[in-house]
Amino acid sequence: MDDVTESLNVTLAHTLVDRHRFLPAVALQLNETLNTMQDYEFLMKAIETESRTNKSHYTSFIDEDSGRLDLLVHKYLHNKIFDHAAGDLIPQITSNALQKPIHIYSERDDGIRKTIVQPKIPRNIDKSLLLVHLNDYHYSALIKEKSIH
């Protein structure tokens, strides 16, 4: 991960291991980017709203009916169960909800993989990036050096 942290001029900020995995990393990154103090309850509400508002967009990806999507998103957000089809959609739903691109850097045996998640339902896209790191199943925020105190 040193190559990524050095090239992006970021520090790896570990988040609590609470089984939500993705949300604490995004919340930390969002707080650093916007200089706010939002907990991930804010994200949970934004994700629920986005998944309900644009339900037809997401159900086509998971091959499930819309009621099932609501249940799966609820399980992810409130029961921290992520091992299902909607769990894989959470980064996309989050990107759409926040109208922000999310770059996910993951470590692989053959090097670093960068996944770019862009808002697919554009409204007012914010060009500032949210940077997160994935190691196995744990996400951490990548914080710009100038933001570290």
Q: What is the pLDDT of residue 63?
A: 64
Task: Average the pLDDT over 59-88 and give the result.
Answer: 78
Start-to-end C-alpha separation, the chain = 21
Q: What is the 3-state secondary structure (H, E, C) of the chain?
A: CHHHHHHHCEEEECCCCCCCCHHHHHHHHHHHHHCCCCCHHHHHHHHHHHHHHCHHHHHHHHCCCHHHHHHHHHHHHHHCCCCCHHHHHHHHHHHHHHCCCEEEEEEECCEEEEEEECCCCCCCCCCCCEEEEEECCEEEEEEEHHHCC
- What percent of the chain has a predicted confidence (pLDDT) above 90? 15
- Residue-wise pLDDT tens digits, 38-59: 667 888 999 999 999 998 888 8
Task: Average the pLDDT over 99-114 and give the result.
Answer: 85
Please state, in angstroms and rounded to a whole number, the distance separating the CA atoms of residues 124 and 114: 24
Evaluate if pTM is beyond 0.85.
no
